[in-house]
Homo-oligomer: A and B are copies of this chain.
Amino acid sequence: MASSQSSQKEIVTAAILVIGDEILSGRTKDKNLVYMADRLNEIGIQLHEARIIPDMQEEIVEAVNACRAKYDYVFTTGGIGPTHDDITADSIAAAFNADIDFHPKAMEILTRHYEISGIEFNDARKRMARIPSGATLIENPVSKAPGFQKENVFVMAGVPIIMQAMFESIADRLHGGAKMLSRTLGASLPEGKIAARLGELQKKYPSVSMGSYPYFKQGDVGTNLVLRSIEEADLNAAFNELSDHLDSEGVVISETT
């Protein structure tokens, strides 16, 4: 059986919650999902779901609780700044039924930061030091106000440059499983023509997930066939069989990334 080894490999899964009215209104384009999808993949964590939700505590609580029970990791972005609409920390505390208060280390970091900058450390800015009890801080090398980790939930900023820096500061804490490997075959044919054969191949190689993505470029119709698996041998065998089949049918093919 092609998939005989699959069950021995560890699958680690994650969800991302993008918190912010500005994404749902179309005003701001999210740039964090693609970054996280790539980085999680490199670490061996499979992104299974992403949700974009509004700045509303009940929505955040519901999504966090649904996802933290279902996946190994949950990453949130957005809503941890100094203004009244930054309600992520309170919402996470509510989701965990945990207290929230000024975190001594976060206060120390911010006090020092504003001292050095000569900027007033006012009440609004102090809100950024409010962290649910039992959480660990996530370093923010860019603008100092920290994110935090509460159990399997990682709370990060929404501004992409800060989110990325925060993610890199926690990457070492994440435990990856089997890496999802991927090979893509570009074929100069409409997907309807390869569908039957691809379906047969999918049955033959259950450990390989086969996706078919048509494209239309300047009048050219083609299909990208994406094969993904945590089993390298199965992946290569399936890829070669598909490639040989298309080749024998005279289809122009090329491996793409």
Contacts and interface: CB of A to CB of B under 8 A. Distances in A.
Given A51-B51, A84-B198, A191-B82, A37 B26 contact: yes
Contacts of A214: 81, 159
A181 to B, nearest CB: 11
B52 A25 contact: no
A171 interface: no
Nearest to A159: B214
A211 B21 CA distance: 8
A210 B41 CA distance: 36
Interface in A1-51: 21-22, 24-29, 33-34, 37-38, 41, 47-51
Interface in A93-131: 119-120, 122-125, 127
B24 A34 contact: no
Nearest to A29: B34
Contacts of A190: 119
Nearest to A51: B51
A81 B228 CA distance: 19
A195 interface: yes
A83 interface: yes
A83 B199 contact: yes
B54 A52 contact: no
Nearest to A52: B50
Interface residue tally on A, bucketed by range: 35 or more
Interface string A189-210: 0111111101100100000011
A125 B38 contact: no
A202 B85 CA distance: 9
A202 B50 CA distance: 30
B26 A192 contact: no
A228 B25 contact: yes
A59 interface: yes
A53 interface: yes
A118 to B, nearest CB: 12
A85 B192 contact: no
Nearest to A83: B212
10 contacts: A21-B209, A26-B38, A49-B59, A81-B191, A82-B191, A82-B195, A119-B192, A122-B192, A125-B192, A159-B216
